[in-house]
Amino acid sequence: MLIVVITILAIFYVASILYQFKGLQKRINKFDKLHLLPNYSFFAPNPLVNDFRLVYKINEENLGNSSWEELNMYKKFSFKRIFWNPFKYYNKGMIDICQYLTREFHAVKDKDKMKLSLNHINIVLTIFRYLQKKGKKISGLKFAIVSSEGCEDLKIKKVIYDSNYQII
């Protein structure tokens, strides 16, 4: 049994080492069905220096189209986040989903099919639930993902993704 366990761990360790090389990641990913292989390069070689921001426009019943509003994806600094920071999962999840969606957008030829994307629907549902909790009755919405730089001196860099109106 010792040999079996050590063999499994050794194979995983060798795969972990190979996975640190960017050129091999795609090939190794095919075998990593559980997505367990770690990429330890954290914030390198290219660190994240831009934020994604999610803005939406809604079509309210009897009120017509609204102006652009932002769905908050970020929270201000607080010392308590050293012990308690559930917001990081939401924040990371939103960043990931914006990245997946923009990657999909560049890969798909027929851009009209984007509204069938799970990531697109997920973002629509997130905005819809947020508005529903605020007591807003909406008949449709559109959203856009923009990238920004800085916190206090905020610079909007570019529009990364712009959806069509989605009927709810």
Partner 1 sequence: MENLNWLSLGYTFSLSIVLLSTLISSLELSFVPTHYFNFIYPKIDKVHNNKRKWILIHVIQIACTLLSAILFFTGKIIAFKVLFLSLTLITLFSYINRTSSKDGADQLRMITLLTFSLCFLLDNSIGKLVTLVFLGLQVLLGYTTSGIAKLTSPYWRKGNVLHLIFGTYSYGVPKISNTLKKRPKLERLLSHSAIFIMLAVPISFFIPNPIVLYIALFSIFSFHFATAIIMGLNDFLFTFPLAYPGIILLHEIFHNYINL
Contacting residues toward partner 1, per CB under 8 A: 1-2, 4-6, 8-9, 12-13, 16-17, 20, 34-51, 73-74, 77, 79, 81-97, 100, 118, 121-122, 125-126, 129-130, 133, 148-152
Q: Which is nearer to partner 1, 44 or 62 (CB)?
A: 44
CB of 51 to partner 1, least distance (A): 5
SS3 helix, strand, coil % of the chain, rounded to 5? 45, 20, 35
Query: Residue 42: phi, psi to the nearest 5?
Result: 15, 110
Q: Which is nearer to partner 1, 66 or 91 (CB)?
A: 91
Instruction: Decide if 97 contacts 82 (C-beta within 8 A).
Output: no
Q: Which is nearer to partner 1, 32 or 61 (CB)?
A: 32
Q: Report the distance separating Cα 159 and Cα 147, nearest Å.
A: 7
Q: Which is nearer to partner 1, 31 or 84 (CB)?
A: 84
Q: At what angle do helices 22-29 and 2-19 cross, to 10 degrees?
A: 130
CB of 46 to partner 1, least distance (A): 7
